[in-house]
Amino acid sequence: MRMRTAHAAAMRYLISLCTALAAATIAGVFCSGCSAPLSAIPAPGSTAPAPRLSQLGLFEGELAAQRPRAGVVAYDVNASLYAGGAHKQRFVLAPPGARIAVNADRWQAPVGTYFVKTFSFPVDERNPQLGERLVETRFLIRTKNGFDAATYVWNDAQTDAFASPGDLDVPVSWLDAAGVRRDQRFHVPSAAQCAACHQGRALGWSSRQLDHRATYSDGSTDQIQHLLTLGVIDARPSAHAALVDPFGAAPLELRARSYLDANCGHCHGQGGSAEGTDLFWGFEHTGAGELPACRATRDVDGRDRVLVPGHPDQSEFLARMRSERPRVHMPRGPVQSLDQAGIALLSAWVSSLPSAVCTD
């Protein structure tokens, strides 16, 4: 019986994989910000593509436990990009003898660096000991031409993940904090979506995102010092602003600006795909003097001002976040679920701003 179940699961995976591959081939999808389409990648130090995650040699023991092998370092960011409610585990592997170069903001990875991110959903939010269902492990690999991207989709048995061309919707379900069953689809990105977000960059690798305090196995409590001690980075950064947890205990303004930086600033910023709009949401552009207050914009559901201070219901950027229409919704990409917590945070922030009446 177990063999028939495993065979059926494998067949379902192969059918979905072939369907996605055919769609990607027909569409001619390639990653303009990355140097190759999503596909199997080689293990560190190899040139042979590895179709299974287990063949990459990045984790020890049971693969689903995500225990990094020596040299693979777990890390975290201050403000996470919303990904349909998925949880994330992050890892980095720098090539032997090389270190990531640190500057005040965006850090520069040497050729051969692997950035790894695993997406998962809890079985039951009320009982973390029940674990999580792993859905996808995503890669960015620094090459001499930019970044190669790849994604590996986990099987139902949670024993391995398999290289995928992306553009897949994976059904997920879990019990929320109230014990209510939640069902949705998690979107595994295509190569074009990789390019739209990353623009040839590893987004979380900046001083503002990695200046983070936690307790590590070596007893340190400063993530930057931890990365420096392990030889992942080459120096401490100079003075810089640091993001905060958008849903933590920091002041509302800092939490809202951190959320905007993490979820919007990579496109609406220097080098981003929306740079031409001259509408910037990076942390350095959302202080009181640079907010797009009353700025006229294309009408979305009756809102034609980007931000109306004191009036979240009149602000176009929030109307975009609430919209389920893919060509309207922000951030760009397939809309699997709205970020209700993020919408509530930014609505509270706009409400806290001195009220204004926008006139022509």
Looking at the structure, do residues 30 and 169 belong to the same domain, yes or no?
yes
Q: Is residue 288 part of a domain?
A: yes
| Listed residue (134, 141, 164) closest to 151, CA to CA | 164
Do 54 and 192 share a domain, yes or no?
Answer: yes
Residue 89 lies in a domain: yes
In a domain, 357, yes or no: no
Query: pTM of whole model > 0.85?
Result: yes
Question: Which helix H or strand E contains 162, and what residues bound it?
Answer: strand 161-164
For residue 239, is it within any domain? Answer: no
Q: Which domain holds residue 288?
A: 252-352
Two tokens, residue 13: 């995976």
Residues 121 and 206 in one domain: yes
In a shared domain, residues 109 and 160: yes
Q: Which residues pair with 181 in a beta bridge?
A: 175
Question: 44 vs 30, 57, 152, 283, CA distance in Å?
Answer: 23, 8, 16, 35
In a shared domain, residues 49 and 181: yes
Same domain as 132, residue 46: yes
Count of beta carbons in the 10 Å neighbourhood of residue 360: 4
As for how many domains the chain has, the answer is 2
**Whether residue 62 is found in the same domain as residue 133:** yes
Q: Which of 229, 264, 283 is the last residue of a domain?
A: 229
Residues 267 and 223 occupy one common structural domain = no
- Number of helices followed by number of strands (H, E) in the chain: 7, 14
Per-residue pLDDT of the chain in tens (360 residues, 90 and over written 9)? 433 444 444 444 333 344 333 333 323 333 334 444 567 999 999 999 999 999 999 999 999 999 999 999 999 999 999 999 999 999 999 999 999 999 867 899 999 999 999 999 999 999 999 999 999 999 999 999 888 889 999 999 999 999 998 889 999 999 998 999 999 999 998 766 776 676 667 888 999 999 999 888 878 789 999 999 999 999 999 888 899 999 999 999 999 999 999 999 988 988 888 889 999 999 999 998 899 999 999 999 999 999 999 999 999 999 999 999 988 999 887 778 899 999 999 999 999 999 999 987
* Chain centroid, CA 223 distance in Å: 19
